[in-house]
Amino acid sequence: MIRKLIYTLLALTLTVSGTVAQHYNQFVTKHDQYKYCSNCGKPLNGENAHFCYTCEKYIPYWELNSSVLFNVGAMAPIPVPSPVKHIYTWYPNINPALNFTITRWMNSNWGLTTGITLEVKSFEATTKIENMDINVVSDDESGLGGHFTGFSNTDIKNNYFTIPLMATWRTNNQKLNLNFGLYGSFLMKGHFRQIIDGNLHVETIDKTVIDDPYDLDMDMSKFDFDDRISNYDFGVRFDAEYYFTDRLSGIVGLRFGFSNTMKSSFDYMKYKMYNMFGCFGIGYRL
């Protein structure tokens, strides 16, 4: 199934890329933007088709790229809270990302890059918890607060529409590109489920301290926080892209969010959550 999904994403990206490239090349041919210098009007010949030897001036130009990436990471507090004593399992899941970028090369080494990314960020983890301060809703809709000890299973899957804005540097032989900058993501669909199994030492009811704290057995209790996920995520993004051929490349990258991925109404625990993901994949220059 994984292989079928990868082949489907590759086929989709190559199909879209081919269509975009065809129209883009028609535009380039029609307007002759790479054949003649926009400053003096003379032909651009020689090894560097983007440098006018008459004007001794680099001619800026646009470049389109597409890529299929896979995100690997988690949405979690930073640093790891002290009540989290052990991480038993962590499943990164399959997190595809379809990425389309456009770069404006200002000279032979530097450019500005933006575009759109449709991506999934998800994972599942099971941890051991000791004395974590949490707030839950009981069967009678009362808000119970206290310290939990036991086991926790977290399942998160968020779909984002992402727009990056990055500076791009490349080597003189144009084999290696480094992109670094910011991203803004808009949540299209979110899922956050928590299952806890253990003991909750109840100390507050509806945020009011009670005189006689008591222990409550949380037997595989399930909580859904889909509606508490923030609609936005902002952070920093870094990509390294190496071209094996003139068009085909391999990509690795990092995405680190600096905004809380949960709304202010999320009071299940006092910690803020951040997206932290790496990625890898292949790219294609149109």
The pLDDT of residue 140: 63
1's tokens: 């199934």
Count CB neighbours of 234 within 10 A: 13
Q: Tell me how far apart the alpha carbons of residues 255 and 115 are, in angstroms, rounded to a whole number.
A: 15
pTM of the complete model: 0.83
Torsion of CA 119, 123, 129, 134, to 10 degrees: 40
Q: Among the residues of the chain, which ranges form H helices? A: 2-31
- List beta partners, residue 67: 99, 283
Mean pLDDT of 243-263: 96
pLDDT digits (tens, 9 = 90+) for 222-242: 999 999 999 999 999 999 999
Q: Of 28-32, 58-62, 85-89, 123-127, which range is least confident?
A: 28-32
Mean pLDDT of 39-58: 68
Phi first, then psi, for residue 7 (nearest 5°) are -65, -40
Mean pLDDT of 6-20: 52
Average pLDDT, the chain: 86
pLDDT at 158 over 90: yes
**HEC assignment per residue over 54-93:** CCCEECCEEEEEEEEEEEEEEEECCCCCCCEEEEEEEECC
Are 207 and 218 contacting, i.e. CB atoms less than 8 angstroms apart? no
Phi first, then psi, for residue 32 (nearest 5°) are 50, 35
pLDDT band (50, 70, 90) for residue 13: low
The pLDDT of residue 46: 52
Are 259 and 233 contacting, i.e. CB atoms less than 8 angstroms apart? yes
Tracing tokens 């529409």 back to the chain, one arrives at 161
Phi first, then psi, for residue 179 (nearest 5°) are -110, 135
Mean pLDDT of 26-39: 54
Is the preceding peptide bond at 79 cis, omega within 30 degrees of 0?
A: yes
Tracing tokens 């389309």 back to the chain, one arrives at 100
